[in-house]
Amino acid sequence: YLLICCHLNFYLPKEYVIINLSRYKTGQFGMRWRTEDEVLVGKGEHQCGSTKCEKREKLQTWEVVFKYKERGRDKSDLVKVRLCPKCSKRLNYRQHHSHGSSSSSSKK
């Protein structure tokens, strides 16, 4: 355990991100790297990666492009986000509710 904690002080894994889905209907998402405390408790990997959700069951893994700046340089990485079913629907909301979607017009 001590070795893991010491290792995390020098390097936080950059595989999973935390995502803010509050503007999901517009297709705008905020993403950030996990903090050391979030890594230690499993937030974003063993717990839903949405900022406002703490579910741990039936998580799905999604790969998303994460664009960010580091030391003044633009960067882009393919990262993973783990989401519960409700948050997964929000992540994919625009794909299912695009202009002229046949699925929305066929509902009665």
pLDDT in tens, 57-81: 999 999 999 888 889 999 998 999 9
Confidence (pTM)? 0.75
Across 33-40, average pLDDT:
92
Smallest CA-to-CA distance from 42 within 30, 55, 31, 52 is with: 55
- Per-residue pLDDT band for 12 (boundaries 50, 70, 90) equals low
Higher pLDDT: 15 or 13? It is 15
pLDDT at 7 over 80: no
